[in-house]
Amino acid sequence: MSTISPGRRALLKGGAALTVSFALPLAATRAALAQPGAASSNTFAPNAWLRITPDNKVTVVCGSAEMGQGVLTAIPMMVAEELDADWALVSVEQAPADAAYNNPMFGMQATGGSTTVRAHWTPVRQAGAAARQMLVAAAAQQWQVDAASLRTERGQVLGPNGRKASYGSLVAAAAKQPVPDKPALKDRKQFRIMGKPTRRLDSAAKINGTAKFGIDAHVDGLLVAVMARAPIAGAKPKAFDEGKAKAIKGVRKVIAIPSGVAVLADGYWAAKQGRDALGIEWDLGAHADLSSQKVSAVLDDGLQNATAIAREAGNVKDGSANAARSLSAQYDVPYLAHAAMEPLNCLAWVKGDEVTIWAGTQSQGPAQGILSQVASVTPAKVKVNTMLLGGGFGRRFAPDFTIDATLLSKLSGSPVKLVYAREDDMAAGYYRPTSRVRFEAGLDDKGRPLALRADVATSSIMAASGFMKIPESGVDSFAVEGLADHPYEIPNQRIAYGRAEPGPQVWFWRSVGHSQNAFFVESFIDELAHAAKADPLKYRLSLLEKHPRARGVLMLAAEKAGWSRPLPKGRHRGIAVAESFGTWVAEVAEVSVAKDGGIRVHRVTAAVDCGQIVNPQTISRQIEGAIVYGLSAALYGRITFKDGKVEQSNFHDYPVLRMNEMPKVDVHIVQSDEPPGGIGEPGTPPIAPAVANAIFAATGKRLRALPFDGEALKQA
């Protein structure tokens, strides 16, 4: 067993200046030892990311959470590529919470922001390359040849005169080799695994029912908890009937905690019935009169106070004064729920000074720290079992469900599986913020924009996050991402943010600020193109001289969609482009609008430039899925408030796209040597404006609010 040899430790400790990947093996020791069987002398585990056993099997340990975005396949592909592994012998397992797996872009072990591949691009590949180099060195020693004369292929070291040694046969010898400090990485042209469409490693389990999500976790003796959760931040229970809940067969305990009242029972059904029997009354506190009208008034106040400057160039007043023509418009988006398929849940067990949770969480690292405080133990005593996530979309980055489960276990003395009913998941807050923007633009006599002013009012996710602060500029970067940094060339600009806090808890939602700001910018640019009597594609291209990647995806999407070719009668196209998370995506939507105002999206053609790629199949599927997610929001998504409470509760009043409404989707990937960008989120931002622009092409009506109002499109 090499990972704990004193020699290596000394080497690593001495290598303080080494890159981040070489900070890994130290912590890896702990992580690797935590794996059953890993400490046997037959395992080569040179770092936190992989183990090789004498049977030639390679196990990659993934520190990111799998929520459908394919990390349980992408991380192994990255390791296996540089290791020159035999892909058929590669499997994956989920890492424990351990600093070894910190996301280098976050400085903590967490999955979000479309970061997994780009954050781990170098360290994970170096982990594979280091192992490969050690295997080669071991073979060179055994064969008494120069390591430079050896090469590797599909899990074997190949030497002169047809000599071969499988990686499995070299594990003991490789473990004795020093860890190389700068393992060379392959050039893209040498990739054998990365860049090829590759099936997911987790599919089989997800098809035969054996995949374990958080909600499937089980320990004997657990109690299931269902909670009456505070309907809005700051609400407190005024009265509830504990006796009625306890009268339900199977109910064991009723426990009040800061976020609400929990009913603990032998199973979900009893707990849910008990929760419903509580007849809880709330003191809604400061937000008792919250309504959608009030939300709107708060947004208007935010616009009046939009003084935090996010971007300023030239002089927007002078630019406007010189304009031949001016346009103004206001755009709105509502609060949105994440509505992942798996309702939020967590199994927690506080036993003495130890806490163990089983949860589909996007933030394993932070959970350790937070739950250690909840249970008054040290962070090292918090064990996080990362389960599969039945959708994340940012919602599972939040700590509410892990905190409450831990608290309930601590207070009850039992292992507790907290399960949110769908209604709790939808109504218990953590929403994509509502946002309102007011644009003013001045065009010259050729229709080119001379000036753009944008004031935007929305809540601060930075302030709500609990781990970030609004910077001194007063600009919440999530509020203006995709708006302040829009790519269009306009000489005079002023883009300003006004913080608006109507009350509901806001949170990260797939593509965060881009989810609304691309709708704002790409719709308004379409308005400018129309005012300039220009083709929407050509108009965009004329303002994107400095953004070749934007031009690239626009032209590719347009070409593949047949932008210049006529459509069947009744069909119309719209186009939009956006950069988010280091990736450019353009989408062309083909839409028809029925006489009754019904909107049908028939086809979406997407072009994506996400730099260097790992798994093209994942990229296509993520872009397609992100389009569906954005389309659900654009067509239907809306969380509204009345008398301090959310009005939606389940999929009947918070509808999402279904099979019968699904457009055809084609995704085209740009071959690129740029650094990798994210892929989980960037498909979402362009879809709402692409459809809005197609609706305009179809009807001449500009819909400036989401979800689209079909009533406004009705033909008399």
Partner 1 sequence: MSISMTVNGKAVTLDADPQMPLLWALREDLQLTGTKFGCGMALCGACTVHLDGQPVRSCQTPLEAAAGKKITTIEGVGATPAGRAVQHAWLKIDVPQCGYCQSGQIMSACALLAGKKKPTDADIDGAMSGNVCRCGTYNQIRAAIHDASATLAKGG
Query: Cβ 419 to partner 1, closest distance in Å?
Result: 8
Residues 453 and 491: beta-carbon distance below 8 Å:
no
SS (H, E, C) 369-388: HHHHHHHCCCHHHEEEEECE
Q: Which is nearer to partner 1, 362 or 477 (CB)?
A: 362
Residues 459 and 255: beta-carbon distance below 8 Å:
no
Q: Which is nearer to partner 1, 143 or 269 (CB)?
A: 269
Q: How far from 606 is each of 58, 166, 559, CA to CA, in Å?
A: 36, 43, 10
Which of 146, 127, 122 shows the shortest CA–CA distance to 136?
146
Q: Which secondary-structure segment (H or E) carries 574?
A: strand 572-580
- Which of 28, 61, 67, 346 forms a contact with partner 1 (CB under 8 A)? 67
As a whole number of angstroms, the distance between CA 530 and CA 535 comes to 8
As a whole number of angstroms, the distance between CA 53 and CA 45 comes to 9
- Cβ neighbors of 422 (< 8 A, separation 6 or more) are 343, 649, 650, 651
As a whole number of angstroms, the distance between CA 28 and CA 47 comes to 6
Span interacting with partner 1, options 24-32, 205-213, 441-449, 572-580, rule CB under 8 A? 205-213
Query: Cβ 705 to partner 1, closest distance in Å?
Result: 23
Residues 179 and 365: beta-carbon distance below 8 Å:
no
Q: Which is nearer to partner 1, 19 or 650 (CB)?
A: 650
Span interacting with partner 1, options 17-25, 175-183, 577-585, 657-665, rule CB under 8 A? 657-665
Q: Which is nearer to partner 1, 369 or 625 (CB)?
A: 625
- How many CA atoms lie less than 13 Å away from 209 in the CB half-sphere? 0
Query: Cβ 203 to partner 1, closest distance in Å?
Result: 5
What percent helix, strand, coil does the chain show, rounded to 5?
35, 25, 40
Q: How far from 309 is each of 74, 472, 475, 478, 480, CA to CA, in Å?
A: 39, 11, 7, 14, 10
Query: Cβ 421 to partner 1, closest distance in Å?
Result: 6
Q: Does 695 bind partner 1 (CB under 8 A)?
A: no
Q: Which secondary-structure segment (H or E) carries 526?
A: helix 514-531
Q: Binding to partner 1 (CB under 8 A): which residues in 240-299?
A: 249-250, 267-270, 272
- Which of 9, 30, 212, 448 forms a contact with partner 1 (CB under 8 A)? 212
Query: Cβ 63 to partner 1, closest distance in Å?
Result: 18
Query: Cβ 348 to partner 1, closest distance in Å?
Result: 18
- Cβ neighbors of 608 (< 8 A, separation 6 or more) are 553, 583, 584, 585, 619, 623, 667, 668, 669, 670, 679, 682, 683
As a whole number of angstroms, the distance between CA 630 and CA 245 comes to 40
- Which of 245, 263, 657, 703 forms a contact with partner 1 (CB under 8 A)? 657
375: tokens are: 């249970």
229: tokens are: 């959760």
Using CB under 8 A as the binding criterion, the count of chain residues that bind partner 1 stands at 66
Which of 700, 678, 690, 689 shows the shortest CA–CA distance to 117?
678
Which of 396, 2, 299 shows the shortest CA–CA distance to 174?
2
- Which of 182, 199, 317, 642 forms a contact with partner 1 (CB under 8 A)? 199
Query: Cβ 74 to partner 1, closest distance in Å?
Result: 13
Query: Cβ 426 to partner 1, closest distance in Å?
Result: 10
Span interacting with partner 1, options 203-211, 284-292, 468-476, 581-589, rule CB under 8 A? 203-211
Q: Does 68 bind partner 1 (CB under 8 A)?
A: yes
Q: Binding to partner 1 (CB under 8 A): which residues in 310-369?
A: 339-343
- Which of 144, 161, 208, 715 forms a contact with partner 1 (CB under 8 A)? 208
- Which of 463, 567, 656, 670 forms a contact with partner 1 (CB under 8 A)? 656
Query: Cβ 560 to partner 1, closest distance in Å?
Result: 16
Q: Which is nearer to partner 1, 184 or 341 (CB)?
A: 341
Query: Cβ 598 to partner 1, closest distance in Å?
Result: 15
Q: Does 206 bind partner 1 (CB under 8 A)?
A: yes
As a whole number of angstroms, the distance between CA 401 and CA 425 comes to 10
Q: Binding to partner 1 (CB under 8 A): which residues in 217-236?
A: 218, 224
Q: Does 215 bind partner 1 (CB under 8 A)?
A: yes
Q: Does 202 bind partner 1 (CB under 8 A)?
A: yes
Q: Helices in 562-615 by DSSP H: which ranges?
A: none
Q: Is the dihedral of CA 560, 561, 566, 569 positive or negative?
A: positive
Q: Which secondary-structure segment (H or E) carries 588?
A: strand 583-593
Q: Does 200 bind partner 1 (CB under 8 A)?
A: yes
Q: Binding to partner 1 (CB under 8 A): which residues in 375-404?
A: 388-393
78: tokens are: 């990255």
Span interacting with partner 1, options 94-102, 200-208, 486-494, 691-699, rule CB under 8 A? 200-208
Query: Cβ 657 to partner 1, closest distance in Å?
Result: 7
Query: Cβ 331 to partner 1, closest distance in Å?
Result: 25
Burial class (CB in 10 A: 0-12, 13-18, 19+), 196: middle
Q: Does 560 bind partner 1 (CB under 8 A)?
A: no
Q: Which is nearer to partner 1, 156 or 515 (CB)?
A: 515
Which of 377, 374, 402 shows the shortest CA–CA distance to 389?
402
Query: Cβ 391 to partner 1, closest distance in Å?
Result: 5
SS (H, E, C) 216-248: HCCCCCCEEEEEEECCCCCCEEEECCHHHHHCC
Q: Are strands 382-386 and 354-359 parallel, antiparallel or unpaired?
A: parallel
Span interacting with partner 1, options 63-71, 136-144, 145-153, 310-318, rule CB under 8 A? 63-71
Q: Does 664 bind partner 1 (CB under 8 A)?
A: yes
318: tokens are: 């002078």
Q: Does 650 bind partner 1 (CB under 8 A)?
A: yes
Q: Which is nearer to partner 1, 266 or 301 (CB)?
A: 266
Q: Binding to partner 1 (CB under 8 A): which residues in 601-640?
A: 617, 621-622, 624-629, 632
529: tokens are: 């193109």
Q: Does 209 bind partner 1 (CB under 8 A)?
A: yes
Span interacting with partner 1, options 39-47, 93-101, 125-133, 214-222, rule CB under 8 A? 214-222
Query: Cβ 141 to partner 1, closest distance in Å?
Result: 41
Q: Does 183 bind partner 1 (CB under 8 A)?
A: no
Query: Cβ 683 to partner 1, closest distance in Å?
Result: 9
Query: Cβ 148 to partner 1, closest distance in Å?
Result: 40
Provide the angle, in degrees to the nearest 10, between the axes of the packed helices 687-699 and 514-531: 30
Q: Which is nearer to partner 1, 338 or 410 (CB)?
A: 338
Query: Cβ 120 to partner 1, closest distance in Å?
Result: 20
Q: Which is nearer to partner 1, 491 or 655 (CB)?
A: 655
Q: Binding to partner 1 (CB under 8 A): which residues in 408-447?
A: 419, 421-423
Q: Is the dihedral of CA 299, 302, 303, 308 positive or negative?
A: negative
Residues 622 and 680: beta-carbon distance below 8 Å:
yes
328: tokens are: 């103004």
Query: Cβ 70 to partner 1, closest distance in Å?
Result: 8
Binding site for partner 1 (CB under 8 A): 66-70, 199-200, 202-213, 215-216, 218, 224, 249-250, 267-270, 272, 339-343, 388-393, 419, 421-423, 617, 621-622, 624-629, 632, 650-652, 656-660, 662, 664-665
